[in-house]
Amino acid sequence: MSRYARITDNIDWGLISTVIGIIFIGLLCLYSSSRVTNIAIFYKQLTWILISVLAMIVAFIVDYRVLLRSAWPLYILMVSGLILVLIIGREISGARRWLSLGPLGIQPSELAKVIVIIWLAYWGEQKKHIQGYGIRELVTPALFIFIPVGLILIEPDLGTAGIVALISCTLLLLLGIKRSTFISLLVLALSGMPFVWYSLKDYQRLRIISFLDPSRDPLGSGYHAMQSKIAVGSGGLLGKGFLEGTQTQLRFLPEHHTDFIFSVVAEEWGFAGSALLLLLYVTLVTKIMQIGFKAKDRFGTMICFGIAAYFTLHLFINIAMAIGIFPVVGVPLPFISYGGSFMLINWICIGLVLNISWRRFIF
Amino acid sequence: MNSTNNIPGPHIDDDLKWKAKIFMAFIFCLFTVLLLRLLNMQVFKGSYYEGLARNNRIRIISIPAQRGQILDRNFEVLADNRPAYNLMVMPEDVSDVSSIAGRLAEILECEEAEIIEKIKEGKKRPYNPVALARDISFYQMASIETQLYTMPGVSIDATSERDYVLKELSAHALGFLGEISRRQLEAFGPKSPYAPGDLIGKSGVESICEETLRGTKGVRIFEVDALGRKIHVLDERAPVPGKDVVLTIDKRLQLAACRSLGGRAGAVVAIAPSTGEILAMVSSPSFDPNLFLSPMTPETWKEIIEDPMHPLENRSIRGQYSPGSVFKVLIAALALNSGFVTPDDKVYCPGSYSLGDSTFKCWRKEGHGHVDLATALTQSCDVYFYVLGERLGIDRISSFCQDMGLGRPTGIEFRDELAGLVPTREWKQKRFKEPWQKGESVITAIGQGFTLVTPLQIAKVMSGIVNGGKVITPRILASTQMTQERNLNIRENELAVILEGLKAVVEADRGTGRAIKDPRFTMGGKTGTVQVVRGYTSKLPDQSDLPYKIRDHAWFFGFSPVENPEILVVAIVEHGGSGSAIAAPVVRDVIHEYYVSKGVIDEQVCQDNR
């Protein structure tokens, strides 16, 4: 067996095909929705996919254990990016989220999602002798996670900040928290949150919401949610057909190439299409979890679990928002929503997972 | 190699295994929630959302149909259409109601709240444009047009607006349009050809010919995007304009009647006695029907409604008056026809007539001496008709009146006609719980008493006599077929006597209507003066000394030529005083205009007496 044969044999082709299937559906929908507004979006997305595949190959080839050594440099890079974007970032509708990198815009907050995973997995590696963390151990990661989350909130980008926080919590849980600590933290969080929220006056709550996320006005998001629900529901069993979605084609559906792109899938391809897409996503997440399970070290496992959480959270929040069971927050749909940084990170994650999957055969 | 495929990593302990399983289960739960929700929305509620999606993008705009014109018998336009601009708004497309309402209120010079209210009201019927203002001025249209691009949802519709060219001069016959009432709208049900705010004929010809005039609305169905911008038209059905309606009215006679009445309260009806065609129908005071087209201010409406002169009432079909001496013609015809009197029978008039304990005065205190029927008509001798009244009795009188068409609507196309009253024994018993008195028959015969008639009824009945007994239903639409209700077959010699008597009213030296004699045409007629308040003698030399409300009503009916009359005119002037002095000239003026329009006489010569 040649070295190359071994490489290709042990690549998880199932995972790659699943991603390609999702990408294909995504491109169909992006074409359909960008056609009416700006077809350039579609070609930009194609370009980003090519760049992302290259990035994935890099993420695949370089041994993931390198990340153990580069966790801190990456963390510093992330925090610098998040600070930089607040200073020199492009301001779009009241939020500074993008850094201009030549012709391309980069969202450091997207990068943060995966760097937090790596950093937490690295941190867990340092503390792997501890069976279940207590409050004392949790102070450090809480602090280091709070820094990027806080910076993202300042941008502001409520959705991304929430995702970063949730991924971190999930990973900490999987790394192991003392049962007693977990229960007391849970009780504290559950009892504290409504108390804090309801002690606020209406206008204060509104002010907090608009402080965190001024780019979305609450009335406007109601309109978005309604139009999105109409799009999804009117798709019916088999959908209206490619390029036939009236909600999309007539621009009733806002943000239809970014946050609400799932509605395009559901409208044009119906329940059949959206169920198929859900199936692909379940397959994707399950495969990542399985790879994590079989990884040869705890670091790899944690990265896989973190990435599974990363995809699951995006999927669930995005789709739940499109079908009206979650408030409208800016969370994109993996591999489908338009957006360069997000696409790049998605593929890098896949690259890392393939890397972890492949390297368990290398001893 | 496959053997190593499913082996967990060496570091995976039971604790992590357990946590990973819970994590996976949680993920599956989340996906199940999404899947069930999608199933519910797309499969079970799909058609509901489909309906929402359709409403979202399809706008149905109705295109109003041009209303038919109303023309007179010579195809002269009485009710026209003129171009107008309506300010429309699609409430769903308005993003900033208060800013738009503020700017429009300034231009339209109305209350901002009023506009906001209309936009709100309009949202109840989704995706239907609402008329914010009808018939805005050219200046208003132009200033809105320049700002239109900053006011999404607002548009200006070029439409046509009704134009009653004669304004108040033909108001009662033509009627007027007004916004359809909620009750009317509900009566039409779901397939209503009307939408709220549509105009509908409220009275007169506009109302009776509503279906002919209305036409069929067109429909334009187009697809819009979320900003309400038209993408493309999906379907279009052109409106079918309403059909024109031709009336039997002659515009020139209508104008002459109005001019001659000169705003005094009363009515004029001109009719072709042999066909029943109405040539003029005037009621006074009148109103400008154009005012009803756009919503009027409450003040204007109150002013019209609370006017003690009731300008909205069409007196020619709804004014019920005592017929007065005009009624004598009817009694004469009845007496001749039933053989109770011959043309040569004479009655001595000493100036009064006694029946039992009562004495009935003739209007001429010194009496008329021996009078035959023609003379009695000419001089309007009361005693002669007292005698006839007693001989005939109320039963014959009332039955003849009913045969001629009194006591019930004349049958003209208008639906709001009043019936008048023909008293009978039964009616008296029922109404007053008293038996009929002989004396009441006597005064009925001279047109006093209980009898009530409308001007149109007099026109119909008198036509029936002067045309030889043919009772013909009056009509105002050229399309209505002539209906002859019955033929009394008045014998020619008897008819000649009546016509001779009526001709002498105008042409004899002692005729009550001699003041209106015109050498250029022959004319017959009969005066009538109705006491409004008993106890005042109606024969005061100058009634203008009396308060308006207690002055007598003045009647006159005239026809021309005397042989085979072509036109018959009835005029009543409320509280006008004497029929001969006040009502007769109105009739003469209309008949005069008739001959002028026929080219028989020269207009120049006869602008004299009124």
Q: Domain boundary at B246, B271, B296, which?
A: B246
Whether the per-residue pLDDT at B527 is higher than 60: the answer is: yes
Least confident of A200-214, B197-211, B322-336, B399-413: A200-214
Cβ pair A340, A48 in contact under 8 A: yes
Statement to judge: residues B343 and B319 lie in one domain: yes
The CA dihedral of B419, B420, B424, B426, to the nearest 10 degrees, is 60
Statement to judge: residues B15 and B73 lie in one domain: no
Statement to judge: residues B28 and B101 lie in one domain: no
CA distance A54 to chain B (A): 27
Mean pLDDT of B446-451: 90
Statement to judge: residues B209 and B123 lie in one domain: yes
In-domain check, residue B293: no
Q: What b-and-e string marks burial along A222-249, b requiring 16 or more CB atoms within 10 Å of the CB?
A: eebbebbbbbbbbbbeebbeeeebbbbb
- pLDDT for res B301: 81
Q: CB distance A294–B48 less than 8 Å?
A: no
The CA dihedral of B337, B338, B342, B346, to the nearest 10 degrees, is -120
Active site residue B325: yes
State the pLDDT confidence band at B610, using cuts at 50, 70 and 90: very low
Any residues with CB less than 8 A from the CB of A144 and at least 6 apart, and which? A75, A119, A123
Any residues with CB less than 8 A from the CB of B602 and at least 6 apart, and which? B596
Question: What are the structure tokens assigned to B174, written together?
Answer: 């033509």
Statement to judge: residues B92 and B136 lie in one domain: yes
**Separation between Cα atoms, residue A215 and residue A227, nearest integer Å:** 19
Peptide bond connecting B126 to the previous residue in cis, omega within 30 degrees of 0: no
In-domain check, residue B133: yes
Residue B157, classed as helix, strand or coil, is: strand
Least confident of A30-34, A154-158, B442-446, B515-519: A154-158
Chain B residues lying within 8 Å of A323, measured CB to CB: 34, 37-38, 41
Peptide bond connecting B285 to the previous residue in cis, omega within 30 degrees of 0: yes
**Separation between Cα atoms, residue B528 and residue B583, nearest integer Å:** 9
In-domain check, residue B502: yes
Statement to judge: residues B428 and B566 lie in one domain: yes
Statement to judge: residues B225 and B278 lie in one domain: no
Of B11, B42, B57, nearest to A266 by CB-CB distance is B42
For A86-168, where are the E strands, in sequence order? 90-92, 95-101, 104-106
Please choose, from the candidates A121, A172, A167, the residue with its C-alpha nearest in 3D space to the C-alpha of residue A308.
A167
- pLDDT for res A1: 46
Please choose, from the candidates B383, B368, B384, the residue with its C-alpha nearest in 3D space to the C-alpha of residue B336.
B384
Cβ pair A297, B11 in contact under 8 A: yes
For chain A, where are the E strands, in sequence order? 90-92, 95-101, 104-106
**Separation between Cα atoms, residue A106 and residue B530, nearest integer Å:** 101
Least confident of A90-94, A135-139, B343-347, B404-408: A90-94
Q: Mean pLDDT across chain B, nearest whole number?
A: 86
Cβ pair A336, A45 in contact under 8 A: no
**Separation between Cα atoms, residue B417 and residue B474, nearest integer Å:** 12
- pLDDT for res A252: 65
State the pLDDT confidence band at A211, using cuts at 50, 70 and 90: very low
State the pLDDT confidence band at B96, using cuts at 50, 70 and 90: confident
Question: What are the structure tokens assigned to A204, written together?
Answer: 């204060």
Q: Pick the catalytic residue: B286, B322, B325, B380?
A: B325
Mean pLDDT of A126-139: 83
Please choose, from the candidates B228, B49, B50, the residue with its C-alpha nearest in 3D space to the C-alpha of residue B126.
B228
Of B38, B41, B225, nearest to A251 by CB-CB distance is B225
Residue B329, classed as helix, strand or coil, is: helix
Q: Which residue has the tokens 């359709």?
A: B54
Chain A residues lying within 8 Å of B32, measured CB to CB: none
In-domain check, residue B226: yes
State the pLDDT confidence band at B251, using cuts at 50, 70 and 90: very high
Beta strands at A95-101 and A104-106: parallel, antiparallel or unpaired? antiparallel
Q: Is the dihedral of CA B462, B466, B469, B475 positive or negative?
A: negative
Q: DSSP assignment, residue B580?
A: I
**Separation between Cα atoms, residue B606 and residue B610, nearest integer Å:** 10
Work out the percent of chain A whose per-residue pLDDT is above 70: 86
Is the CB of B240 inside 8 Å of chain A's CB atoms?
Answer: no
Q: How far is CA A65 from the centre of its chain?
A: 23
In-domain check, residue B305: no
Q: CB distance B57–A246 less than 8 Å?
A: yes
Statement to judge: residues B115 and B68 lie in one domain: yes
**Separation between Cα atoms, residue B413 and residue A160, nearest integer Å:** 77
Statement to judge: residues B530 and B589 lie in one domain: yes
Phi, psi of B174 (to 5 degrees): -75, -30
Q: Amino acid letter at A120?
A: L
- pLDDT for res B124: 64
Statement to judge: residues B64 and B13 lie in one domain: no
State the pLDDT confidence band at B58, using cuts at 50, 70 and 90: low
**Alpha-carbon radius of gyration of chain B:** 36
CATH number (domain holding residue B79): 3.90.1310.10
Q: How far is CA B51 from the centre of its chain?
A: 44
CATH number (domain holding residue B524): 3.40.710.10
Phi, psi of A307 (to 5 degrees): -65, -40
CA distance B55 to chain A (A): 11
**Separation between Cα atoms, residue A29 and residue A243, nearest integer Å:** 8
Rounded to two decimals, the ipTM of the complex is 0.89
Chain B residues lying within 8 Å of A236, measured CB to CB: 42-43, 46-47, 50
Q: Is the dihedral of CA A35, A36, A40, A46 positive or negative?
A: negative
Whether the per-residue pLDDT at B125 is higher than 70: the answer is: no
What is the extent of the structural domain holding B380?
Answer: 251-288+313-606
Whether the per-residue pLDDT at A179 is higher than 80: the answer is: yes
**Separation between Cα atoms, residue B328 and residue B526, nearest integer Å:** 9
Q: Which residue has the tokens 């077809």?
A: A39
Of A285, A289, A295, nearest to B9 by CB-CB distance is A295
Whether the per-residue pLDDT at B17 is higher than 60: the answer is: yes
Q: Domain boundary at B246, B267, B298, which?
A: B246
Chain B residues lying within 8 Å of A250, measured CB to CB: 56-57, 223-226, 231
CA distance B23 to chain A (A): 9
CA distance B22 to chain A (A): 10
Least confident of A288-302, A345-359, B181-195, B439-453: B181-195
Q: For chain B, how many structural domains are there in total?
A: 3
Q: A-contacting residues of B 1-20, CB under 8 Å?
A: 1, 4-12, 15-16, 19-20
State the pLDDT confidence band at A100, using cuts at 50, 70 and 90: confident
- pLDDT for res B138: 85
In-domain check, residue B522: yes
In-domain check, residue B52: no
Please choose, from the candidates A308, A246, A304, A306, the residue with its C-alpha nearest in 3D space to the C-alpha of residue A283.
A308
Of B34, B47, B227, nearest to A319 by CB-CB distance is B34
Start-end of H helices in B109-193: 112-122, 138-147, 171-174, 182-188
Cβ pair B241, B437 in contact under 8 A: no
Statement to judge: residues B164 and B261 lie in one domain: no
Q: CB distance B19–A271 less than 8 Å?
A: no
Burial (Cβ within 10 Å: 0-12, 13-18, ≥19) of residue B306: exposed
Total length of chain A: 363
Burial (Cβ within 10 Å: 0-12, 13-18, ≥19) of residue B4: exposed
Statement to judge: residues B73 and B16 lie in one domain: no
CA distance B222 to chain A (A): 12
Q: Mean pLDDT across chain A, nearest whole number?
A: 84
Q: Is the dihedral of CA B575, B581, B582, B583 positive or negative?
A: positive
Work out the percent of chain B whose per-residue pLDDT is above 90: 45
Cβ pair B485, B472 in contact under 8 A: yes
In-domain check, residue B20: yes
A47-65 pLDDT per residue, tens: 999 999 999 999 999 988 8
Least confident of A16-20, B137-141, B570-574: B137-141
Q: How far is CA B203 from the centre of its chain?
A: 3
Q: Between residues B159 and B271, which one has the greater pLDDT? A: B271
- pLDDT for res A177: 85
pTM: 0.62
Is the CB of B547 inside 8 Å of chain A's CB atoms?
Answer: no
Q: Which residue has the tokens 């800013």?
A: B99
- pLDDT for res A9: 74
Chain A residues lying within 8 Å of B41, measured CB to CB: 229, 232-233, 323
